[in-house]
Amino acid sequence: MRLRARIGDGAILLTAAATLGFLLYPAVVVFSGSMQTNETLFARNRFDLTWDNYRHIFDAGFGTYLSNSLAICLAATLAATVVSVMAAYVFSRRRFRWRRVLLTAVVAGQWFPWIVLVTPLFILFARTGLTNSYSGMILCYTAISIPFSVYLLLGYLETVPRELDEAAMVDGCTPLGALWHVVLPVMLPGVVATATYAFLLCWTEYLLALAFLTQPAMKTLPLGLYQFFGEDTTDWGAVMAGSAVTTLPALLLFLPLQRWLVSGLTAGSVKQ
Amino acid sequence: MMAPARRRTARADQVFVTLMLAPSLLILAAFYLYPMASNVWFSLTDLSLMKLRQGGAYIGLANYADALGGADFWRVVWNTAFWLTAVSVVVRLVLGMALALLLNSAALLRLRLRTLMRLALLVPWATPPIVAVAVWRWLLHPQAGGINRALLWLGLTRHPIAFLADTATVWPAIVLIMVWNTVPVATLTLLAALQSVPRELSEAAALDGAGSVRIFRHVTLPHIMPTIMILAMLMTFWTFNNFVYVWLATGAGPGRYTDVLATEVYLRGFVDFNLGSSAAIGVIMAVAMGTFGLLYVRVLGRRVAS
């Protein structure tokens, strides 16, 4: 029996090791590759550490892309989270006419292929001068973040007892006051998790940026990263360094929030 | 005395509800409803990217007839439904379930590996899809990629394989990229569900002499079924509509071998300049997903209620 247990442990240890390798190897390759020259990347047994790739991508405009991405994504995340909290709150706490239809319509935004937005918005943006502008991208990213944010927030709101905000209103709070002073503090981790999702959605968005940002000075990180892929040759050192710069903020956001991110995903849909 | 006051608060509450919903609904109307409506209109015209200013002429359902009549279209539908969506969702669910069971096993806890595994899962999950594709293009690189080096070293192949350029390997390679990037969501969600199964249930079943496989099938699986269903639905939406995995990994190539609906919309509109026929494919996509979503919500709603 003890031998069997030991063999079982060994099998699990091996599986765990293989899984860890599968999960982590690509990330190790990115961070180590970002610090090697293109020559050593292709050579088998050489390994010279260098910051040249990072210097190179920031010379090639990565700093601009980074600040564009930050400005657009932070503004869109803020806007999407605020309007989503407002909508999710009344969807969760009030019963009104058209509630089911409107809620389904909002949440159904998740099912919508973004590629369908490209042509009509491309024409609209061209007419209104929103192409190559922060405001156009911020509006776009706010719009694509709302459906999933409302869906997540509904789940978190279900965990806040209704009696809490009802009691606050009996004590003379306005509805908005009840949301702000009572409900929000309780569900703050959920709001933060929702904002994180929204931020990452925008941070990594490629298609709409490709369509609406054509001037180099306006481009975001994802577009900047794929500039290093050439038709014939690819600057792999730059790709690795650019990948590292794009991934690091996402990784830092994920670590403290992982538990909340997981619990929110399936909480919302069970009860509607 | 009370009635007018109550009516006033009811009216005030109606205003409150409207004001709270207005911003979201207006943005969604402008960025989903309006584009969808104009797409339906474009799909009935011969609008071209080169002649945007003139607009397109109404040509009825010709774009739809063209699309549905072409053999290429059905190949694209097959690519999207089978390879991009069905295969990748099933692989992620099965692998995610296996990893969740591994993480939930007492042995892993005893070996003090559970926390390490949880943290490791965050790495692919936090990796943006655009970066995941970039890295795997490097790992699958014929000359320098780690995968080919390993295969050559192990003697499993004589010549390096150009995974993303060979029709025999390109779809499994794209699925691999998607699985690496998103299996953590499945794993961690299923793990949370597994941990919510009351221990008494499986202990009682074990006392009745059920083996671990039977406990899993008859106790654990029914309990976590709603989670699996929701996960399957979310992943289906995320993948069916996805543009970046295929576009950035292969550009719908080699040739147009890995063309899916999302890339087809892009190619028709922005490479062939035919916005009308591109819009028709887009409308077909949106209708397909909308129908699937409503069906799923109906089925799921019934199941959760009962």
Amino acid present at A166: E
B282 to A116: CB separation less than 8 angstroms, yes or no: yes
Q: Based on the number of CB atoms within 10 Å of its own CB, is B265 exposed (0-12), middle (13-18) or buried (19 or more)?
A: buried
Name the residue facing A262 among B21, B128, B192 (closest C-beta): B192
Look up tokens 């269903």; give the residue: B229
Decide: pTM greater than 0.95.
no
How would CATH label the architecture of A61-270? Orthogonal Bundle (1.10)
User: pLDDT tens string for chain B (306 positions)?
Assistant: 445 666 667 788 889 999 999 999 999 999 999 999 999 999 999 888 888 777 788 888 988 998 888 888 999 999 999 999 999 999 999 999 999 999 988 877 777 888 888 889 989 988 999 999 999 999 998 887 888 888 888 888 888 888 888 888 999 999 999 999 999 989 988 998 898 888 888 788 888 887 888 888 888 898 899 889 888 988 998 899 999 999 999 988 798 999 999 999 999 998 999 999 999 999 999 999 989 888 877 776 654 433
> A121 and B291 in contact (C-beta within 8 Å)?
no
Condensed to tens digits (0 to 9), the pLDDT of residues A61-75 reads 889 999 999 999 999
Percent of chain A with pLDDT strictly greater than 70: 93
Amino acid present at B54: Q
Q: Which residues of A touch B34 (CB under 8 A)?
A: 120, 124
C-alpha closest to that of A242 among A51, A106, A7, A62: A62
Among chain B residues, the shortest Cα distance to A211 is held by: B270
* B270 contacts: CB under 8 Å, gap ≥ 6: A118, A211, B49, B278
> B40 and B283 in contact (C-beta within 8 Å)?
yes
Condensed to tens digits (0 to 9), the pLDDT of residues A181-217 reads 888 888 888 899 899 889 989 999 999 999 999 898 9
pLDDT band at A264 (very low <50, low <70, confident <90, very high): low
Strand spans (E) along chain A: none
Q: Based on the number of CB atoms within 10 Å of its own CB, is B281 exposed (0-12), middle (13-18) or buried (19 or more)?
A: buried
Q: What is the pLDDT of residue B302?
A: 54
Taking the alpha carbons at both ends of chain B, their separation in whole angstroms is 44
> B245 and B133 in contact (C-beta within 8 Å)?
yes
H helices, E strands: number in chain B:
16, 0
Best residue in B17, B250, B298 for a mutation probing chain A (most A CBs within 10 Å):
B17
ipTM: 0.87
Interatomic CA distance for residues A235 and B135, integer angstroms: 13
Q: Is B48 helix (H, G, I), strand (E, B) or coil?
A: strand
Q: Which CATH superfamily is domain B45-305 in?
A: MetI-like (1.10.3720.10)
Name the residue facing A251 among B126, B143, B231 (closest C-beta): B126
- Ramachandran sector of residue B162 (left: φ over 0; alpha: ψ -120 to 50; beta: rest): beta
Among chain B residues, the shortest Cα distance to A221 is held by: B130
Name the residue facing A250 among B28, B52, B126 (closest C-beta): B126
Q: Where are the domains of chain A?
A: 61-270
A266 to B304: CB separation less than 8 angstroms, yes or no: no
